[in-house]
Amino acid sequence: MKAYISDPEDLKQDSTYQEIWDNMIINFLAESLDVVNDNVWVISLGDAFARQYDLYATSDGHSALLHRCLGMLLQKVDDRIYVREKIDLMCRHSSMSIPVNRLGLAQGIGLVAASHLDTVLEKLKNILENAGQSALQRFLSFFSFREKVEDVDDTYAALALMYGYAARYAPSTVIEARINALVGTDMLGRFLHVQHPTAKQAVITAIDLLGRAVISAAEIGISFPLQRRDQLLEYVLTLMGRDQSDDLVDFSIELLQTQTVALSACTTLVSIEPRLPMETRNRVMKATLGFFALPTEPSNIVESLITNLIILLGAILLTSGEDGRSRAEQLLHILRQLDPYVSASAEHQRRRGCVAVHEVLVKFRNLCSGGFGASGSYPTLSLKHIDQGGPRGSSSLPSAFVLPNRDSLSLGERIMAYLPRCADTDDEVRKVAIQIIALFFNISLSLPKQKTSANDIDLESSYGALSSLEDIVSIIRRASVDQIEVFHRVVSSVCILLSKDELVVLLHSCTLAACDKVKQSADGSIQAIIVFIIRRGKDLREADVLRTTQSLLSSAIALTDKHSRQEVLNAISCLAENTNHIVVFDEVLFVAGRDICTKDITRIRGGWAIQDVFYVFSQHKVLATLFLEYILSILHKEPVATNDSEKGEINSESSADDCILQATMFALNAFLRGGGKVGKQAVEQSYPSVLSALILKLGGLHGLAELGRNELLRSLLIAFQSFCDCVGDVEMGKILARDGERTEKEKWIDLVQEVACSSSVKRPNEVLPTCVILSKSLDRNQRAEREAAAAALSEFIRHSEKEPALLEQMVEELCQHVTDDSPTVRSLCLRGLVQIPESHILNYIQQVLGVILALLEDATESVQLTAVQCLLTVLNVSEQDAVDPILISLLVRLRNLQISMNTKMRSNAFAAYGALSAYGAGSQHHAFLEQIHATLPRLILHLHDNDLSVRLACRNTFQLLAPLMEVDGLSSLLNKQYFTSDRRSDYEDFIRDLTRQLCRLSPVRVDSYLESAIQAFDAPWPVIQANAVCLVSCMLSFLDDQRFLAPYFSQVFAMLVGRMSQSPEAVVRAAA
């Protein structure tokens, strides 16, 4: 005692020294009293202690020990009156404003309660009742005779502590009813309005002591629940908070101390019956987890607070759930709540978060090692083990029932959450993170597995990998250890330890890890992902590859740092290379299409990540060719027809299809622009496929452009220009720049043909494979694409003379598709046939002539015109044997076209008629003459057609046919000037001279001339009507045979009179 009173300096250096001294003295006194065991001597010593109060001022902190000594002594006294008097004495000599003195008094009163609980509670009740009567001076008289009134906070704090220590030291056999009465009357609720931090700490400590009293009773087998426990937790949380009026400068340290005490109280309350409801548990966690974000200073207080918080989390885990599965769910809930701190940008937060995770996992492992009771029996953390007895005892159920299974740990998700920390910049964080991962797998290998996942885990390999992890933990602190090598070893072990399903979940959860706030950790995570994909990619199903691609794309989009983004892009390439690349490409293209249609990709911060993905694919040695083939397959993909026709017109594509198509063309452009040597090599190797795809899509999108939808066409033209630049075809690029956006069908058909021509000249060796692709495209559903294919083939065929096999195939394809429902396709196929190289045309002349013959009767005039023009071309190289079989059929069909309203048709039909004269001397000579004479009147009439081209064609044809007609003097007429004159008077003179010669022919021939000429009276052209009038009149005037003339005279005369009086055209009336 003398040593204590002397107050040596070393007691001032550390508060724990004084606490140790105090406890030693109290224990010494208790043992002394037990040894003496003399009631008279004890009372005498108590009186001596009472006199000691005069040695201290009421504000002296040393009186706290005196309170405890007197309390310990009164515990040994049986005289209730003596005890009551000494309690009053203790209260009078206590200063409530001094926390240490207040605490000593409460501890002293609590020691008294160990033997005189009812006396103490009665005294405390009287004090509380007097305080409730609004007579504050009377209330304070129990504590001091001074006139100055103590602060109410101090009084409430002292009273609460006295209640708490009374419950703490009271006999466990009688405490249940007292605690229930105390809590049931909500006496503690009166203390919630204290403001000073030390007062709050006192009230919180009182609640903590109540909980500890319940725990102490349970330790000796007296188990009972703490009534209104959830309400007490709310009291603690309320007192733990900081009021708006608090001064952060004055109270920040005291507030932290209050919160430290509150966390300890929460742990106590959580650890006792009744079991904490989920809502309350979540409320406690929400109110406390934010402490992990506290700054590091003041370090001693903050560290103590964080330690208490971690203990609280462990208590929540240990006291939650009824079985292993529910506890595993609670574990995951706690760990997920800690994730923001584990991945925080501040090192101290990451350190705290990782330590918390590790400690909670240790508690969970201990539970797994000891098994779970059927009802969830549990040990406590810093407190002693609680054996609740009865139904809380050990379960006799098999461990497979009470233990959680491995899947309930969500290993894939959890490992991905802590793997970045294994590459952290902080040494302590790295070490703890590796310990966490090792602990997770240590636990998982001890848990039962579901049947579906048990077969894909090799236990021997798994235990070897776990052993490697534990070795890493043991060497992690060595300075000589290469941290990069350590991380790679961790990743290798994890790769072995994960099951297939866990690996899938890990990869799905990689976005946050790849975007970790610590760049070194983010890069390490991405490298780990690449390792997982390379080594275990074969285990991924298509759906897994899809979701992994989505996660990696999300990471790439979220990252703005170029290096980190590039690492993620490498991971995406690795995924495509080692799994199903089509699935990866599909998802990338889908996201690209969505972005293009919903965002302004030119303004995305850090650049558009998907474009970078395209670049990476195009520069990848393995993926470049695969990605190019994939792009071309999308371009070749046919849209769904919107009508019932098998090859009908495609009116439009859906908006989603447009987005995908835009993305495809954007991808192709990126490939062509950013592929470098690798990409260029892939393009060169796939030149025919790329060119044919662009040509076909050029036709299809021009079809849409005609409907006013030009945006897709512009995108394609950009990609096409990039293709020209990539392959070095400057001429083709100029052609596209000049006419690319011309949407008229004739213009874009010409454009396709010019492109084909340019390609043929620049790359003759690529003609064969390009034509093979385009030939197959003639069967496509979209009309515009068939037209584009036909246009290109009609040009490529000119350059196929060195490929006879290809030529034969192309001729066959073109001949098959001259029946296409598109007039343009029919025309282009025919044009292609007549452009067969001269060295090969004779081999196919009969096929070509057969096609021409058929198309001369086509329902579309433009196709007929093409057939006539092609006939003129092909006749230049056709032999007699080829033409003879169809000569008459050609003449008949041409005669039908000579009365077309289309001047081009008439002129070409007459010209073709004349060209056939070269074949009139063959086996069909007689029939040919008959056809000539049948056509002669029409030929004569159109010698003076309104159109110059028709007049010229007729004159040329007349000159070619004249030698074959066997009419005397006819050739001499054609040599006269009026035959080539365009004046009407000259034409009429020619008619008179010509009819004079014709009328010398047989009557049958003349009769046929007259019939044909009379029919022309109804021709749609006035000048032809006038010509017919002139011709008929002249013929009638030169006929000598009256019998032959009579039938025509009356008919013609009546018609001439009608024309003269009714025709609106002057030329007809004049001729009549």
Helix 783-796 vs helix 804-816: angle between axes, to the nearest 10 degrees?
A: 140
Q: What's the confidence (pLDDT) of residue 889? A: 92
In this prediction, what percent of the chain has a pLDDT beyond 90? 32
Closest CA to 918 of 956, 973, 868: 956
Q: What's the confidence (pLDDT) of residue 585? A: 95
* Residue found by looking up tokens 């997920």 in the block: 336
Mean local confidence (pLDDT), 666-679: 90
Q: What's the confidence (pLDDT) of residue 421? A: 93
* Cα-based distances in Å from 1066 to 353, 363, 565, 976: 107, 116, 85, 28
pLDDT tens-digit map of 603-661: 887 788 899 999 999 999 999 999 999 999 998 886 644 443 344 444 444 677 788 88
1044 pLDDT exceeds 50? yes
7 pLDDT exceeds 60? no
Q: What's the confidence (pLDDT) of residue 975? A: 85
* Cα-based distances in Å from 1033 to 727, 798, 879, 997, 1024: 71, 52, 42, 14, 14
Is the separation of the CB atoms in 68 and 77 below 8 Å? no
111 Cβ partners below 8 Å, 6+ apart?
A: 68, 71, 72, 74, 75, 165, 169
Q: Distance (Å, rounded) from C-alpha 505 to C-alpha 494?
A: 13
pLDDT tens-digit map of 328-368: 888 999 999 999 999 999 999 999 999 999 999 999 988 88
Q: In a 10 Å sphere around its CB, with 0-12 CB exposed, 13-18 middle and 19+ buried, how is residue 313 labelled? A: buried
Q: Distance (Å, rounded) from C-alpha 121 to C-alpha 670?
A: 85
Instruction: Work out the angle at residue 402's Cα, subtended by the Cα atoms of residues 364 and 222, and round it to the nearest 5 degrees.
Output: 75
248 Cβ partners below 8 Å, 6+ apart?
A: none
Closest CA to 218 of 273, 166, 167: 273
Dihedrals φ, ψ of 1020, to 5°?
Answer: -75, -5
Closest CA to 1025 of 1069, 984, 980, 986: 1069
Q: What's the confidence (pLDDT) of residue 1018? A: 83
What average pLDDT does the chain have? Answer: 81
Q: What's the confidence (pLDDT) of residue 654? A: 61
Higher pLDDT, residue 226 or 962: 962
**What spatial distance separates the first Cα and last Cα of the chain, rounded to whole Å?**
158
pLDDT tens-digit map of 129-141: 665 543 344 344 4
Is the separation of the CB atoms in 427 and 354 below 8 Å? no
Categorize the per-residue pLDDT at 407 as very low, low, confident or very high, splitting at 50, 70 and 90: confident
399 pLDDT exceeds 60? no
Q: What's the confidence (pLDDT) of residue 374? A: 36
Q: Distance (Å, rounded) from C-alpha 771 to C-alpha 806?
A: 8
Helix 562-578 vs helix 519-536: angle between axes, to the nearest 10 degrees?
A: 10
700 Cβ partners below 8 Å, 6+ apart?
A: 639, 650, 782, 784, 785, 788
Is the separation of the CB atoms in 508 and 473 below 8 Å? no
Q: What's the confidence (pLDDT) of residue 1057? A: 57
Closest CA to 931 of 892, 970, 959, 883: 892
Q: What's the confidence (pLDDT) of residue 506? A: 94
Numbers of helices and strands, H then E, in the chain: 55, 0
Amino acid at 236: V
Question: Would you give the DSSP letter of residue 886?
Answer: G
Categorize the per-residue pLDDT at 391 as very low, low, confident or very high, splitting at 50, 70 and 90: very low
Higher pLDDT, residue 537 or 452: 537
Instruction: Work out the angle at residue 289's Cα, subtended by the Cα atoms of residues 285 and 294, and round it to the nearest 5 degrees.
Output: 160
217 Cβ partners below 8 Å, 6+ apart?
A: 172, 175, 176, 223, 224
Q: Distance (Å, rounded) from C-alpha 1043 to C-alpha 1021?
A: 32
445 pLDDT exceeds 90? no
The neighbour count for residue 1035, using CB atoms within 10 Å, is 24
pLDDT tens-digit map of 842-886: 889 999 999 999 999 999 999 999 999 999 999 988 888 888 899
Higher pLDDT, residue 904 or 105: 904
5 pLDDT exceeds 60? no
Q: What's the confidence (pLDDT) of residue 552? A: 94
Q: What's the confidence (pLDDT) of residue 388? A: 34
Mean local confidence (pLDDT), 889-902: 91
pLDDT tens-digit map of 282-320: 888 888 898 998 988 888 889 999 999 999 999 888 887
* Residue found by looking up tokens 């090692």 in the block: 369
Most confident region among 173-182, 255-264, 472-481 by mean pLDDT: 255-264
Q: What's the confidence (pLDDT) of residue 147? A: 37
Mean local confidence (pLDDT), 525-544: 93
562 Cβ partners below 8 Å, 6+ apart?
A: 606
Q: Say what the pTM is.
A: 0.78
3-state secondary structure of 37: coil
Alpha-carbon torsion angle 724, 728, 730, 736, nearest 10: -10
Q: Is the dihedral of CA 384, 387, 388, 391 positive or negative?
A: positive
Q: In a 10 Å sphere around its CB, with 0-12 CB exposed, 13-18 middle and 19+ buried, how is residue 589 labelled? A: buried
Q: What's the confidence (pLDDT) of residue 128? A: 65
Alpha helix positions (H), 559-599: 562-578, 581-598
Mean local confidence (pLDDT), 449-465: 71
Mean local confidence (pLDDT), 711-728: 90
Q: What's the confidence (pLDDT) of residue 605? A: 79
DSSP 118-159: HHHHHHHHHHHHHHTTT-HHHHHTTT--SSSPPPHHHHHHHH
Q: What's the confidence (pLDDT) of residue 170? A: 73
Mean local confidence (pLDDT), 547-552: 94
Q: Distance (Å, rounded) from C-alpha 337 to C-alpha 518?
A: 20
Q: What's the confidence (pLDDT) of residue 392? A: 36
Q: Distance (Å, rounded) from C-alpha 183 to C-alpha 178?
A: 9
99 pLDDT exceeds 60? yes
792 Cβ partners below 8 Å, 6+ apart?
A: 692, 695, 752, 753, 755, 756, 770, 774
3-state secondary structure of 14: coil
Closest CA to 64 of 28, 108, 97: 108
Q: What's the confidence (pLDDT) of residue 888? A: 92
Closest CA to 318 of 398, 393, 401, 378: 378
The neighbour count for residue 515, using CB atoms within 10 Å, is 21
Domain boundaries, the chain: 1-159, 171-274, 277-377, 405-508, 658-799, 967-1072
Question: What would the two tokens of residue 960 be?
Answer: 């070619």
Query: Mean pLDDT lowest for which of 58-67, 109-118, 706-715, 749-758?
Result: 58-67
Higher pLDDT, residue 827 or 58: 827
Count of all residues that appear for the chain in the document: 1072
Q: Distance (Å, rounded) from C-alpha 444 to C-alpha 410?
A: 10
1059 pLDDT exceeds 50? yes
Categorize the per-residue pLDDT at 60 as very low, low, confident or very high, splitting at 50, 70 and 90: low
1063 pLDDT exceeds 50? yes
385 pLDDT exceeds 60? no
